[in-house]
Amino acid sequence: MLLKGATLVRIDPPALERADLRVAGDTIVGRGPRLRPRAGEAVVDVKGRLILPGLVCAHTHGYSALSRGMPAPPASPRSFADMLARVWWTLDQALDEETVYCSALVAAVEAVRAGTTTLIDHHSSPNAIPGSLDIVREALGAVGVRGVLCYEVTDRGGARRRDAGLAENDRFLSATRSDPQMRGLVGAHASFTLGDSSLAALGDLVRYHGAGIHMHVAEATDDVRRTERAHGCGILDRLDRHGLLNERAVLVHGVHLSDADLARARGASAWLVHNPRSNMNNAVGRARIERFGARAALGADGWPADMLAELRFAHFRAREHLGPRRPFPATSLLEGGQRLASALFGMPFGTLEPGSAADLIVADYVSPTPVTAGNLAAHLVAGLQPAMFRRVMAAGRWVCLDGVPANVNVEAVYERASRLAASLWRRMRG
Ligand SMILES: [Zn+2]
């Protein structure tokens, strides 16, 4: 396929170039001015449009997609841990296989509509664990989005469920070793819900598969205090002791990591994922993203995977705290997601260069002011909107055409989701 006449965008370091793109299979195979169509090649006229790399959501929970508008718990949560118990652990325990599938389908539909072509998902369904990652994989595959999946291992449901979670990660990592659109990580909830024997088992999985841990870290003070009280050390100490702190680790939130711990995470080349909408909604505090270093990315943490919305929250929140004299380039977090996807899939993302992933957005962006490499960040924060995304491609296949998901009937998906959400909420109350 030949995409002709667009301006190609690199997010960071920012670059713009008018060039044609050739795609074959799931890869970009050609780039240059005035590429000539080959016999039998489909040619798509994208003149005047911007082509951006497909966006990466570095942490989310597709299982919570049917939570929108659900009734509040009977009593208001008193703390972050209390909110987990009253809201999110009530929700995930009410999930069955059908709601797992439908939730993942809705999460994927909302992702591709927002130009997000890779979802790094953290799944939990304690009453439907075995095979649950295959169900999520099937849903993401139906929409066409890439996935990096894991099952959230925790001690909160007892040893049997913990072991089922470990087995699900193990099985999925083996099954997706050579899948071009799917990868696995080793999922773990958080330090305060994991005992030492569970962390040791997670460490065994990480070593056996050469995979990274995907885990919430210091999201709220509960995690830090309970870890110190129960284990007499910090969260990163515990991860390090069990061989979980390495360059493949995806550490989520880091709101309450100390300066020393942030330096330690950077030193280990672990990935840190910032989720500003979630942090604000849960009132857990502000992550000091200015100390996250180069291996930092953006996640939606269960909110729709609209990474431009997440970018705005990251930008404004950093701006409010750091002030105009210490500007934080929030778009570097979008680029961080591209580098994380590159590491996970073993091919370049985000460059739109030959040999890189054919994951891209064709945007109908007409700006009232000039768009240059020098001011691209301002256009990403203040101008571009998912409503301008005319086409979206993931792994060389169109997943949105004319702004509409191309591979599923959205009306039918939402009708089913709405029906399932009503019974899910009834089960939660029960
Ligand atoms: Zn999360």
pLDDT for res 343: 97
Ligand 1: centre distance to CA 369 (Å): 38
Ligand 1: centre distance to CA 190 (Å): 10
- Residue pair 123/147 in contact (Cβ under 8 Å)? The answer is no
Ligand 1: centre distance to CA 331 (Å): 21
Q: How far apart are CA 377 and CA 372, in angstroms?
A: 9
Ligand 1: centre distance to CA 405 (Å): 25
Ligand 1: centre distance to CA 302 (Å): 7
Q: Coil, helix or strand for 418? A: helix
User: pTM to 2 decimals?
Assistant: 0.98
Residue type present at position 377: A
Ligand 1: centre distance to CA 421 (Å): 21
Ligand 1: centre distance to CA 371 (Å): 35
Both structure tokens of 226:
């309970």
Ligand 1: centre distance to CA 358 (Å): 28
Ligand 1: centre distance to CA 277 (Å): 11
Ligand 1: centre distance to CA 122 (Å): 7
Ligand 1: centre distance to CA 184 (Å): 16
Q: What's the CA dihedral at 188, 63, 399, 365 to 10 degrees?
A: -90
Ligand 1: centre distance to CA 280 (Å): 13
Ligand 1: centre distance to CA 370 (Å): 38
Q: Per residue of the chain (430 residues), what is the pLDDT tens digit?
A: 999 999 999 999 999 999 999 999 999 999 999 999 999 999 999 999 999 999 999 999 999 999 999 999 888 899 999 999 999 999 999 999 999 999 999 999 999 999 999 999 999 999 999 999 999 999 999 999 999 999 999 999 999 999 999 999 999 999 998 898 999 999 999 999 999 999 999 999 999 999 999 999 999 999 999 999 999 999 999 999 999 999 999 999 999 999 999 999 999 999 999 999 999 999 999 999 999 999 999 999 999 999 999 999 999 999 999 998 899 999 999 999 999 999 999 999 999 999 999 999 999 999 999 999 999 999 999 999 999 999 999 999 999 999 999 999 999 999 999 999 999 999 998 7
Ligand 1: centre distance to CA 108 (Å): 17
Q: How far apart are CA 89 and CA 125, in angstroms?
A: 9
Q: How far apart are CA 360 and CA 352, in angstroms?
A: 8
Ligand 1: centre distance to CA 372 (Å): 35
Ligand 1: centre distance to CA 419 (Å): 25
Ligand 1: centre distance to CA 43 (Å): 41
Ligand 1: centre distance to CA 60 (Å): 6
Q: How far apart are CA 309 and CA 235, in angstroms?
A: 30
Ligand 1: centre distance to CA 215 (Å): 8
Ligand 1: centre distance to CA 162 (Å): 18
Ligand 1: centre distance to CA 86 (Å): 16
Q: Coil, helix or strand for 274? A: strand
Ligand 1: centre distance to CA 92 (Å): 13
Ligand 1: centre distance to CA 34 (Å): 45
Return the bridge partners of 20, or none.
Answer: 32
What the chain holds in terms of domains, given with CATH numbers, is 2-54+345-405 (2.30.40.10), 61-342 (3.20.20.140)
Q: How far apart are CA 262 and CA 241, in angstroms?
A: 17
Q: How far apart are CA 427 and CA 430, in angstroms?
A: 5
